[in-house]
Structure 1
Amino acid sequence: MFRFFESLIDPYPQDEPRTPPNGLLAFLYHYSKPVLPLLAVMSVLTALVSIAEVVFFAYMGELVDWLGASERGAFFAEHGWELAGMALLIVVVFPLLVLAQSLIVHQGIFGNYPMIVRWLAHRYLLDQSLPFFQDEFAGRVSQKIMQTALAIRETVMKLMDVFVYVAVYFTGALFLLGRTELWLVAPLVVWLAGYMAIAVYFVPRLRRISKAQADARAQMTGRVVDSYTNIQTIKLFAHTLREQDYARGAMDGFMQTVYKQMRLVTKLTVCLQTLNSLLLVAIAGIAIFAWHQALISLGAIAVAIALVMRLRAMSDWILWEIAGLFENIGTVQDGINTLAQPKAIADTPEARELTTPHSEIRLEHVRFRYGNNGGGHSEPPVIDDLSLTIAPGERVGLVGRSGAGKSTLVNLLLRFYELESGRILIDGQDIAGVTQASLRRQIGLVTQDTSLLHRSIADNIAYGRPEASEADIIEAARRAHADGFIRGASDSKGRTGYAAHVGERGVKLSGGQRQRIAIARVLLKNAPILILDEATSALDSEIEAAIQEQLFALMEGKTVIAIAHRLSTIAMLDRLVVMDAGRIVETGSHEQLLRQDGIYAGLWRRQSGGFLGLDAQAGTSSGPHVMPTT
């Protein structure tokens, strides 16, 4: 039975996630569509439960009157069927309604609903642009997903539950009291007006504080996660106390919202309890006076007092539900700011799969600057009117001082950023018109800053080709000279070898070990276009020399772009392209560039000095761009 209700909703809808709308109601509807049928059933069952409770109170009043008016000997003969009906309602009908409602709410909705939100939001954010994640704390983004998913569920369910329950229950209470003595309705109406006034005053204030609190909580989580993610850097610079202060700043901001919230809570509690006490005194006084004047029966007094006591209990619940509703609305509105951001880089509706029969790369008048998303020109161009053609199978080395634009060019080729002008073509296909996934499948990349997933070594290598066999994974590791240290790897859970986990971002491995796993991953991927951005920078000379052989073997038949500050590692490539200030200033083979005695020749001569930096004799760049060569 439980499994049936748990499977009424698929928590992992396969529809392609779209950009969520910015409006609150539209945002709630966007994530609630799969759950709407069950939410409607929940509302009907809630209404039936409310009606059953009101009918129960009516029975209680009738029972008091029967007991007062009937002879004991004839009581069961006169009212036996009514008592049996009351027992049936209490023992059978009401529990069945509660069971049905609980199955719908707890099995059908409660777990599946927020998981739908998490699933769709996570899939959408995975397709967000690289700058989106560079501008946010990873912990803050994940916190927003978790908070918003729960807040959407609570907002919608509280809204429907409270509205239906209050509407049915309060209407029933008015009817029961009004049919016995019209004056009993007056205190209830006055109480309702006071109750609404309390809600109007306190709820918006709680909502504003809750929204600020949700943002402060996410900021606090982001700072804490940032410290843990960069724990090695913190310990290296002995800045534990500095990080404590950094986290405490966010914690203090969060606590200020808590203090403000709790002050309102105290005021709200006192006002509500005072109002409820006045209601009880007013209803009891009027009921007793009406009984004294023989206007109502004892049963009516019992119903009136019981309903008031029930309303007193409900009023706390209702107001806190409303406060919780607006608290969750504040959290949802805060989540909208993150989750509803449109994708900065998105596939066009007519985007097609990239095909690479030859793997020719052509850049035509490419221009790009950072910080130009809003159309402003706050930063100078990093790439300025650059044109370059790389023939199929050609191996090209990019050379230039730090900041010349080499790595930016690689990021543009991968379409991590959009061009300001110009275009990039692969085999005549503009990369802006192909799917990003197909583009990146055709490119293998090894960077100097290798980040691994907190999974097994085998999983990290197989990321290059998920369908690869175990033998293929081991062969790629062997070719990357990683098999030796992998065999001896282990983790805290007793996993060894290729099953050992590498820690967050691969922190359990040395830089050289991470680099070799990254190289193995690209060897396994075997894409037709290969990009090496300081691919061997973290390796010692002996391992580098051994891996170079594998890399040169891997280059066969591929179009290659290689970036290296150690010019000796790329001197044997087919062509070298020298960049400076976002432009191509020299191009040719190693020997040709030495004969030109320009920037490249100056950089080559300075290799023996241990760095690749500013050469006053051979360039026009300004600023001390110093880059270690070892």
Structure 2
Amino acid sequence: MLDRIVHYFDTLYSPTALAADRQPPMGTRAFFTYFLRQFRGVLWARLALVGLGSVIDASFPVFVGWIVGMLATTAPGDLWSVHKGALLLMAAVVLIRPVVFAADQLMRNHALTPNLVDLVRWQSHWHVIRQSWTFFQNDFAGRIGNKVLQAGEAIEMAVNTTIDAVWSTAVFLVVAMIVLGRMDPLLLVPIALWLVAYAALFRWAMPRVDRYSEEMSEARSVMSGRMVDSYSNIQTLKTFADDGAEDAYVAEAVTVHVGIFRRLMAIFSASWSLLFLLNAVLLTSVTGLALAGWSSGRMTTAMVATVIPFVLQIVNISGWILEVGANVFRQIGTARDSMQTIAQPLTLVDAPDATPLTVTRGGIVYDAVSFDYWRGDRGTVVDALSLTVHPGEKIGLVGRSGAGKSTLVNLTLRMFDVSGGAILIDGQDIRAVTQQSLRKVVGVVGQDTSLLHRSVRENIKYGRPGATDAEMIEAAQRASVHEVVLGLEDPEGRRGYDAHVGERGVKLSGGQRQRIALARVILKDAPILVLDEATSALDSEVEAAIQETLYGVMQGKTVIAIAHRLSTIARMDRIVVLDHGRIVEEGTHADLLEMGGIYAGLWSRQSGGFLDPGAESTEAT
């Protein structure tokens, strides 16, 4: 029975649901509301249950006063007979409190907390992962991940703590002031003065806690980003063996973080010291007034016995609230810091009327395409470039480093939007079609091949998730990697296609990663194929072994290939030479050699087996 009840509350909300509006908003209140409105029902239930619990808690000092009054005015043998009704009422109220608490725990610990934490993370991740490539180029992956993960806990802790502490205390104080005011209005004077001073202390401390918490969260993210950057590039660190410089780089972030942390702790120290003074004044003044009232006959012994526990509870709660309030503001600061990353609007989105791309032939037209990176020092990368790639044609792109080759490929995939002109596939402007449909029809093997930290099977089938194992193995065999895969074993003992490849595929050699990436694109079997230095990590023997396979894969597809080794694109239907974002030469391999221009010079140096002193400035990449 209990398991069924718990399961019901556990599954009351789905942590992987998506909000109707998929764009988390900027602004602290709006950001919190965006996620919390999805849990309206359980939040209202918690407010009701916690409020009821506080009313019951406020009745306990009253019960103490009643009992003291009973003992003072009733003979020992007559207590039950005279006060039976009051005693049963008190017992019933005390016994109801655990039931209220248990119901609230079901709401808090099962319906709300785990679902809210991970829903915030999931919806934040869902939005962030749809950001443009530029978004990720401009930040640390570890920093972004930290922002997403901390947002869920920050929002959950802020809202639950506010309900558990601030709301419950507010209800308790209202009840306490009503009870004490009815006994003697003079008792409310020191309490009112204390509340004013307490509010002033809160007003002074909490904004500082908020500010330093946000700064500390950012500093923690930077520190995390630098550490993760070190871990991600551990081979470079080990190779260059410059531990001192790397240690200093991370230590700088640690020093900044601890400096902010110390300022935050100074606020806590000052706040607690002042609060202890305020509480001491409150306790002595209210107790003194109660005793004076008893001495003058205005208050009974039962009333004094009620007043003192009330004040003691207020004093104890005040310290708790200061600590909790600081924690709430810390979490708000943390959530606000995360919001700056999570709530950034998407900059590269589908047009409102975007339709799926329909590829019937695979022709690509670059119509006066221009592109500038937002960094002004980069200048124009592609400059009014016009090029028609006919359906089924194989095009090789050649040029000096920075000529715009890879940028042109990224524009074709709509990783960036063109600054001018248009790119059309089978007559459809790629800005007018959905990004998902565009990338489904383009198979890409890049020079910087990274794999997902999953099994080889999952990495290859990423090209076509519905493929069978037999189709996957055939693709691996065509990429000359099947035998390599069969010999793999990871630290967990998983073998072959079940072996995990490590983060970004670090457990494999560059050539092995590139062949798995080739198998993935072979399995995808897209009508348009982009090869950006697709064999750069392969040795000559392996490259020769799969060269014919590559040419076989190209059959019937429109192909754009970038290669440093010109021999790999010499058989292309047409070779296009770029320089400063413009087409400067165009033709077959034989045509370009006959021209005696840039391509011929590059070919001469490579086929001659050496690079002359000026080769660095004209090297093809």
> TM > 0.5 between the two?
yes
TM-score (norm 1): 0.96
Deviation at 1:277, TM superposition (A): 1.1
Match of 1:84 in 2: 88
Report the 3-state secondary structure (helix = DSSP H, G, I; strand = E; otherwise coil) of the residue aligned with 2:503. coil
8 A contact 2:166–2:321 mirrored in 1 = no
Candidates 105, 109, 113, aligned match of 2:108: 105
Query: CA separation of 1:364/1:42 partners in 2, compared to 1, >3 Å: closer, same or farther?
Result: same
1:228-280 deviations in whole A, cap 9, x for unaligned? 00000111111222211111110111100111111111111111111111111
1:434-481 deviations in whole A, cap 9, x for unaligned? 111111110000111100111111111111111111111111111100
Match of 2:68 in 1: 64
Match of 1:169 in 2: 172
Report the 3-state secondary structure (helix = DSSP H, G, I; strand = E; otherwise coil) of the residue aligned with 2:537. coil
Match of 2:534 in 1: 535
Deviation at 1:19, TM superposition (A): 2.2
Match of 2:519 in 1: 520
Residue identity opposite 2:169 in structure 1: V
Deviation at 1:17, TM superposition (A): 5.9
Residue identity opposite 2:77 in structure 1: G
8 A contact 2:602–2:618 mirrored in 1 = no
Residue identity opposite 1:191 in structure 2: W
8 A contact 2:400–2:617 mirrored in 1 = no
Deviation at 1:624, TM superposition (A): 2.5
Candidates 213, 217, 220, aligned match of 2:216: 213
1:541-580 to structure 2, matched below 5 A, reads 541-580=540-579
Candidates 14, 21, 45, aligned match of 1:10: 14
Query: CA separation of 1:627/1:239 partners in 2, compared to 1, >3 Å: closer, same or farther?
Result: farther
Candidates 294, 308, 322, aligned match of 1:291: 294
Query: CA separation of 1:460/1:322 partners in 2, compared to 1, >3 Å: closer, same or farther?
Result: same
Report the 3-state secondary structure (helix = DSSP H, G, I; strand = E; otherwise coil) of the residue aligned with 2:26. coil
Distance (whole Å) between structure 2 residues aligned to residue 40 and residue 497 of structure 1:
53
The answer on 1:430 being equivalent to 2:429 is: yes
Report the 3-state secondary structure (helix = DSSP H, G, I; strand = E; otherwise coil) of the residue aligned with 1:425. strand
Distance (whole Å) between structure 2 residues aligned to residue 18 and residue 318 of structure 1:
35
Residue identity opposite 1:519 in structure 2: L
Distance (whole Å) between structure 2 residues aligned to residue 381 and residue 90 of structure 1:
76
Match of 1:620 in 2: none
Distance (whole Å) between structure 2 residues aligned to residue 410 and residue 19 of structure 1:
29
Report the 3-state secondary structure (helix = DSSP H, G, I; strand = E; otherwise coil) of the residue aligned with 1:211. helix
Query: CA separation of 1:609/1:135 partners in 2, compared to 1, >3 Å: closer, same or farther?
Result: farther
Report the 3-state secondary structure (helix = DSSP H, G, I; strand = E; otherwise coil) of the residue aligned with 2:536. coil
Candidates 34, 40, 63, aligned match of 1:30: 34
Candidates 314, 319, 339, aligned match of 1:316: 319
The answer on 1:624 being equivalent to 2:617 is: yes
8 A contact 1:128–1:345 mirrored in 2 = yes
In the alignment, structure 2 segments of 5+ residues that lack a partner are: none
Distance (whole Å) between structure 2 residues aligned to residue 118 and residue 422 of structure 1:
39
Distance (whole Å) between structure 1 residues aligned to residue 566 and residue 79 of structure 2:
107
Distance (whole Å) between structure 1 residues aligned to residue 19 and residue 153 of structure 2:
21
Residue identity opposite 1:5 in structure 2: F
Distance (whole Å) between structure 1 residues aligned to residue 139 and residue 230 of structure 2:
14
Query: CA separation of 1:589/1:27 partners in 2, compared to 1, >3 Å: closer, same or farther?
Result: same
Distance (whole Å) between structure 2 residues aligned to residue 86 and residue 53 of structure 1:
12
Deviation at 1:405, TM superposition (A): 0.6
Match of 1:619 in 2: none
The answer on 1:231 being equivalent to 2:234 is: yes
Query: CA separation of 1:502/1:612 partners in 2, compared to 1, >3 Å: closer, same or farther?
Result: farther
Bigger mean CA offset, 604-613 vs 82-91: 604-613
Distance (whole Å) between structure 2 residues aligned to residue 148 and residue 614 of structure 1:
54
Identity of aligned residues (%): 45
Distance (whole Å) between structure 1 residues aligned to residue 503 and residue 257 of structure 2:
27
8 A contact 1:403–1:625 mirrored in 2 = no
Distance (whole Å) between structure 1 residues aligned to residue 176 and residue 134 of structure 2:
57
Report the 3-state secondary structure (helix = DSSP H, G, I; strand = E; otherwise coil) of the residue aligned with 1:362. strand
Query: CA separation of 1:253/1:416 partners in 2, compared to 1, >3 Å: closer, same or farther?
Result: same
Query: Root-mean-square deviation (CA), in Å?
Result: 1.6
8 A contact 1:452–1:514 mirrored in 2 = yes
8 A contact 1:402–1:613 mirrored in 2 = no
1:259-312 deviations in whole A, cap 9, x for unaligned? 111111111111111111111111111111111111111111111110111111
In the alignment, structure 1 segments of 5+ residues that lack a partner are: 617-622
Candidates 303, 308, 311, aligned match of 1:305: 308
Match of 1:280 in 2: 283
Runs of 4+ in 1 over 6 A off after TM superposition: 611-616
1:235-246 to structure 2, matched below 5 A, reads 235-246=238-249
